[in-house]
A and B are shown apart, each in its own frame.
Chain A
Amino acid sequence: MADKIYWKGLEEKNQLISFTESESKEFAENLPVVGSAVDAISTKGNTNRRDFLKMLGFSVTAATIAASCEIPVRKSIPYAWKPEEIVPGVANYYASAYFSAGEFNSILVKTREGRPIKVEANKQSTVTGHGTSARAQASVLSLYDGSRYTNPRKGKENITWDTADKEVKAKLESIKAAGGKVALFTSTVASPSTKAVIKDFIATNPNVEHLVYDAVSYSGLLDANQQSFGVRAVPNYQFAKAKVIVGVGADYLGSWLNHTEYEADWAVNRRVSKANTAMSKTFQIECLPTTTGFKADVRVPVKPADEIAALIAIYNIVTGSSAAGALQNAKVEAAAKALVAAKGESLLVCGSNSVHAQLLTNAVNSALGNYGTTLGFDRPVYLKQGSDTAATALFEGLKNGTYKGVLFYEANPVYNYAKGKELSELISKAELSVSFANRLDETSSVTAYVLPDNHYLESWNDIEVKAGILNTVQPTISKLFDTRQFQDTLLTYSGQTVKYYEYMQKNWETNFYPKQTKYTGFWAFWDTTIHDGEVVLNVAPTATTAGNPNLAEAASVLADSVKGYGENQLKIYESSVIGDGTHSDNPWLLEIPEPVTKVTWENFVMVSPKFVEKNGLQPDLEMKDYHVIKLKAGDVELELPVVAVPGTPENTFGVALGFGRTAVNHDLLKVGKNAYPLLTSGLDIVGNVTWTKAGKTEKLGITQTHHNLTLKGLGGTRTRHIIKETTLEEYKQNPYAGNEDRADILEHLVTLYPTHNFPGHHWSMVIDLNTCTGCNACVVACNAENNIPVVGKDQVVRAREMHWLRIDRYFAGSEEDPTAVFQPMLCQHCDNAPCENVCPVAATNHSSEGLNQMAYNRCIGTRYCANNCPYKVRRFNWYDYAGNDSFDKKWGTGNDAGLAAYQLGMREPLTRMVLNPDVTVRSRGVIEKCSFCVQRLQDAKLTAKKDNRPLLDGEAQTACQTACPTNAITFGDRNNKEAAVAKLFNEERAFGVLEELHTLPNVMYLTQVRNTDKEAKA
């Protein structure tokens, strides 16, 4: 394994000049920066002696004037009446829940002085108790979004709630009187109390019909379960109980259903140690590369239609049928055999939205006897309830005049319904159209009325994730704007005077309180539930009735469809970071590199490297220019840049959903193209696509080769091992497998210089490459915790992203069928740090607790440290991103006005409310980097001191660690021999990246172990 060659991207694999240069370079671009202040003064683009003197003179004068300015008077305004639970400077945490677009996270909301600033995982939750998703982490930013509706609106005008209520009520009445119908169009409502509110509303307005749809639909899966078991719900998947998992186009570690829960469950059987070498075996059959595919032991790249053919093959082998259209593939066969071998402890999941495909999947899991162990309806999952017919019903109903009015709640069909454009015209013609959106979106910009809902962090609600598992949502800030909770609005229109909070309480008292035995009083039950955020009720397993679906017909329908897709096939997928597009107006998310492709800020056409080569579409990597093609599928044409991604089969195209939003806060957020119009059939595969060159290029910010660690050791040979990998078989025989060279490296670490002492703590981190799925939750958590600025696409293209933590992705093997490893890369806090020696002003130095410290106020911006850092984790502030420089705020510079951060509102007082007050906002011209969340360490230490006790292991946690859904990150004090991190640090699998440079990193990685065998390799 040791001689395996890893490559970050095709540039590296093919050793292009631009890549080899970037390895040795600190920054992607040469100085000076075009358009900078220095540049503006000089005439020919270079500064001469006179300019220097001018600048010097100006600086001295400016400094003198600044110095003689009056020191401003600062007010210190206490609370008029201090709430008892608030201690200024001490954070409060409130249990709540994030539920959006079918994604659920049980969370704790960290508030400072009544202001939510961070989302943490609710570790008590039985569903997502390990971590959070990237989108849940980013949701706190949308609370402070500049595009939030501040008032109820009629057209573009702000109106009062009284006027709005009067007019909407009158319209509802007149439609009712005329015998017309009104549609209440929502995405999945997982809240039982909200459902009750809707029921009440329909009771008083019987002409209202509730239509439920999901932008990314699981209708096929739900309908199949209705047919197979008489239950229209998602089964309760238990990945932790599965010894063999086969995924067919289901990205269950990235975007499929409630992936945060599945990631944690999957990780249970992937955490190997000498004591426990039991490991699940996972197969992933997929057309487009996903994190699930690359984490799988066996990845089977097939064309989109062949995913279906593979499913038929598995069905045939497991059930002994001989349906036509099965894919002939040794790996698929192996997967099916593995499923059979692990009967009752295996799991097949399929990502297709075809009822027929899901019927076969159910049949396979039934035949394997998996129901009741790895999946089942003991507690059905209620996170997706939508039906594909809902949107069509609305469309037709509005068209033929059945629906005179329409109300939209958490629904944006104008954007995410295939016929959204026509729908928007129908909406504007409807007698009554109301949107309850809390911020600008495509649908609310065409409805006659907008009655803004509260943000979820300002609301009361409940969410039934699974039958009997209820989560509560509680407000963590009082309303920022003149908004009203959707449920309160509906209650008003039902003629009820009760507030939703009281309504919800009543509902709980009558329906849920009797279903538990722990508490004898309702208030004790209620208060504890609100405090804990989750309650598990005693409910009987949902009764299933064995249906008798026609499997033979299903298989033949599928076989026919496979044939019809033709040569060029397009797969429309959900990006694991952006999701269905509800949150693609969130700058934090847009700047996150998508885990597999590492593309930021855009969607694109994913193709195979061969395709690019064959058609002369190679990008200009120096200028970051990518060729744009026109992709035609049916009547829809999309113009998108082409990106070659290893592992994509030939003649396969992939386009991500969630981009191309048009009604967002700023033009800079209008990125990519909307792929929803392609989803006309409800299925994610479109056959017979054609393409032509658009004859132009587009710049893309692809971070995969931005911060390259050089693999070249002494003598220029590529001998350094950044990634270490082994197989389970080898690991069982030798725990040092894949890590054999470490002993030799450690032996050669000698120094003449004195070493550091760590008398108290010695902070260290261990990252398990085996359980890291590259999901990016840690990156967003780090952004939120450490006030990391958004720089915008333009700056990412210049390799100036500011993320302190990035996830490097290394490929190995062939371009057609590579394997990949995800490696979170952050400051390694080297105990012999190369950066510390070169700082001329000692702004970066080592602490007695093993931290590589960075004093921003001391930094003069020479960037020597970044130049000397072998891990390339130091980031330079090219601009004043957060707007903390008073000069800029008053006068600004022409240069900064075009800055994305400025335009995206990151400098607005509203958005700045998200900043963590315990972390300095860095100014222009200084270096910054990961601090191991020193503010959290100091806080934990202080808590221990106040309690007069030693610090406990696991008490000090970094933001990335708490966000990780798979517990891949362990952090703690290595001096404490009992600490988890101390034990892992000395494990056989532990290795430091570039350890041979004698940097003595405080971050260790555990080797990736794959459960592959010879059979699958062949």
Chain B
Amino acid sequence: MTNLYWWSNDRINKKQGISLYSLAFTALLLLFSTLSFSQAPDPADIAAGKALFKANCAACHNPTQNGTGPALKGVLARWEAAGDYKGKTGKQMLHEWIRNWNTPVKEGYPHAIEMSNWSPSQMTLFPALKDDEIDKILLYVDNSDVKPAGAATAGAQGAAPAAETGAKAPAMAIYLFLGILVALVVILVSVTSKLNNVLAAKNGEEVKLSTPFWKSRKLLATLIILATIFVFYNLVDGAIHLGRQQGYQPAQPIKFSHQLHAGKHKIECQYCHSTAAQGKHSNIPSVNTCMNCHKNVQKGPEFGTTEIAKIYAAAGWDPDQGKYVNEPKPIEWVRIHNLPEHVYFNHAQHVNAGKIACQNCHGPVEEMKEVYQFAPLSMGWCINCHRNTEVQFANNNYYSIYEKIHEELKSKKLDKVTVETIGGTECQKCHY
């Protein structure tokens, strides 16, 4: 019955598509890195600079794109080109600017005055940064697109899910192979028996013409029973699974990767899905939440600017001007987890009161490039969890009214209090 699901082909194809894409991307990156290696600055310095940059500057600056602050690539060259002033080189002026941008402005350095008008927001002061640290940051800024030698691993990661989805194909092949073997055995047996008969006839022995096996009533009965069992099993199984969408992985309007955001960057689930602990729904973040970071992060590691541009389009943000120019419009995501309308599910109950991790139901989201439905979301699955999961019985004062159960726990009559113990499998906990 599984072939009834409309998405199954789509899912497999898309997975492959991505992995091909990531392979191509990796290849490009490799090519690029070999080209830029000719400049050959010290990789250790660049790495140190990167760390400093991430710690201090990345909130507002991007090496290659304008964000809250201007794009920094070539900044040193620009300041040096602006020339010396009052006995200080452009580089020295830049260092002073970074530590306290007011200093060069007050001194009247023209390039500093020009830069102070770049944006209405004022740059943070970094008085603690030492000269060599600033040099390393500037070195990183100019060489930010140089990848260290280990970059190829990204491609390997991208290819991994393809193998997982391919698992079904070998199974089919094995069944086919077994089928052929069985057919061969049947043919061989029949050929042998025919030959035996011929041999017996030749030897003048009496030929016992046994009824062919396909005319055996016993076999026929067995087969009919087996077929009936098979059909009914599949019917019932299909009916039970009707409407379930485990594994559902629709294409989304933006190729948003949880692997990157939740996995690599370790952004808390509830940073974006902020209402999960408060209410019935765990919200899909509105585009202003995206913009908190993506005002600065203008380029992704995999799709570059194409996907982030979709966020900007929705937010009405013009990255060149650095301001909102259009009315925002919502992004129409495709809903993955669909419960029937007669089911009441409350996120706060599970996340906040029950202290259940998101992954319990949503699976390893932090490993998903594209989210799919991990759990079957069937009633049996819900009930099973309610039977096995312990409630926050001792930790939440709400449960203090269950005096009898507290006593039973104390006297070891009861070893644990599951959701079921306090009525969590009753109809009207979820259906009303």
- Taking Cβ atoms with an 8 Å cutoff, the residues of A that contact B are 67-68, 70-71, 73-82, 87-90, 759-761, 843, 845, 847-849, 851, 853-858, 884, 918-921, 931, 934-935, 938, 941-942, 944-946, 948-951, 973, 975-976
CA distance A706 to B353 in the complex (A): 45
Instruction: List the A side residues contacting B405 at CB < 8 Å.
Output: 759
Q: Does B396 contact A (CB under 8 A)?
A: yes
Instruction: List the A side residues contacting B280 at CB < 8 Å.
Output: 88-90, 918
Output the nearest chain A residue to B345 by Cβ-Cβ distance: A89
Taking a contact as CB atoms under 8 Å apart, the answer to whether B279 and A90 are in contact is: yes
4 shortest interchain CB distances as A-B pairs: A89-B280, A848-B423, A76-B335, A945-B353
Q: Which of B50-58, B73-81, B283-291 contacts A (4 or more CB under 8 A)?
A: B283-291
Q: Does B340 contact A (CB under 8 A)?
A: yes
Q: Which of B62-70, B140-148, B191-199, B424-432 contacts A (4 or more CB under 8 A)?
A: B424-432
Interface of A is mostly: loop
Q: Of A68, A845, A856, A951, which contacts B401 at CB under 8 A?
A: A951
Taking a contact as CB atoms under 8 Å apart, the answer to whether B342 and A920 are in contact is: yes
Output the nearest chain A residue to B391 by Cβ-Cβ distance: A945
Distance (whole angstroms) from the CB of B55 to the closest CB of chain A: 31
A-B contact pairs, 28 of them (CB 8 A): A67-B242, A68-B4, A70-B6, A73-B334, A75-B335, A78-B287, A78-B330, A79-B330, A80-B329, A82-B286, A88-B279, A88-B283, A90-B280, A759-B405, A847-B427, A849-B423, A853-B428, A854-B427, A855-B428, A856-B431, A857-B340, A942-B346, A942-B348, A942-B353, A945-B396, A946-B348, A949-B397, A951-B398
Q: Does B124 contact A (CB under 8 A)?
A: no
Encode B391-402 as 1/0 by CB contact (under 8 A) with A.
000001110111
Taking a contact as CB atoms under 8 Å apart, the answer to whether A77 and B333 are in contact is: yes
Instruction: List the B side residues contacting A89 at CB < 8 Å.
Output: 275, 279-281, 346-347
CA distance A353 to B4 in the complex (A): 73
Q: Does B250 contact A (CB under 8 A)?
A: yes
CA distance A70 to B284 in the complex (A): 25
**With A76-B335, A760-B401, A934-B428 given, can you name 16 additional A-B contacts, CB distance below 8 Å?**
A67-B238, A71-B5, A71-B243, A75-B333, A80-B286, A88-B279, A89-B279, A760-B423, A761-B401, A845-B427, A847-B429, A848-B422, A855-B428, A918-B280, A941-B398, A944-B398
Interface of B is mostly: loop
Taking a contact as CB atoms under 8 Å apart, the answer to whether A78 and B342 are in contact is: no
CA distance A854 to B431 in the complex (A): 8
Output the nearest chain A residue to B5 by Cβ-Cβ distance: A71
Instruction: List the A side residues contacting B286 at CB < 8 Å.
Output: 78-82
Instruction: List the B side residues contacting A88 at CB < 8 Å.
Output: 275, 279-281, 283
Output the nearest chain B residue to A79 by Cβ-Cβ distance: B286
CA distance A920 to B345 in the complex (A): 12
Distance (whole angstroms) from the CB of A271 to the closest CB of chain B: 28
Output the nearest chain B residue to A83 by Cβ-Cβ distance: B286
CA distance A608 to B315 in the complex (A): 71
Taking a contact as CB atoms under 8 Å apart, the answer to whether B401 and A857 are in contact is: no
CA distance A475 to B154 in the complex (A): 53
Taking a contact as CB atoms under 8 Å apart, the answer to whether B287 and A80 are in contact is: yes
Taking a contact as CB atoms under 8 Å apart, the answer to whether A950 and B283 are in contact is: no
How many contacts A-B (CB < 8 Å)?
A: 160
CA distance A946 to B346 in the complex (A): 12
Taking a contact as CB atoms under 8 Å apart, the answer to whether A918 and B344 are in contact is: yes
Q: Does B358 contact A (CB under 8 A)?
A: no
CA distance A88 to B274 in the complex (A): 10
Q: Does B13 contact A (CB under 8 A)?
A: no
Q: Does B341 contact A (CB under 8 A)?
A: yes
Instruction: List the B side residues contacting A75 at CB < 8 Å.
Output: 332-335
Distance (whole angstroms) from the CB of A883 to the closest CB of chain B: 13
Q: Does B30 contact A (CB under 8 A)?
A: no
CA distance A854 to B352 in the complex (A): 27
Task: Knowing A855-B427, A857-B342, A934-B428, say if A74 contacts B334 (CB, 8 Å).
Answer: yes
Instruction: List the A side residues contacting B352 at CB < 8 Å.
Output: 945-946
Output the nearest chain A residue to B242 by Cβ-Cβ distance: A67
Q: Does B314 contact A (CB under 8 A)?
A: yes
B108-142 with Cβ < 8 A to chain A: none
Instruction: List the B side residues contacting A87 at CB < 8 Å.
Output: 275, 278-279, 283
Distance (whole angstroms) from the CB of A878 to the closest CB of chain B: 19
Instruction: List the B side residues contacting A843 at CB < 8 Å.
Output: 427
CA distance A938 to B423 in the complex (A): 12
User: A67, A82, A918 — which one has the most chain B CB atoms within 10 A of its CB?
Assistant: A82
Taking a contact as CB atoms under 8 Å apart, the answer to whether A931 and B427 are in contact is: no
Taking a contact as CB atoms under 8 Å apart, the answer to whether A851 and B353 are in contact is: no
Q: Does B375 contact A (CB under 8 A)?
A: no
Instruction: List the B side residues contacting A938 at CB < 8 Å.
Output: 344, 346, 429, 432
Instruction: List the B side residues contacting A941 at CB < 8 Å.
Output: 398
Taking a contact as CB atoms under 8 Å apart, the answer to whether A950 and B348 are in contact is: no
Distance (whole angstroms) from the CB of B338 to the closest CB of chain A: 6
CA distance A761 to B402 in the complex (A): 8
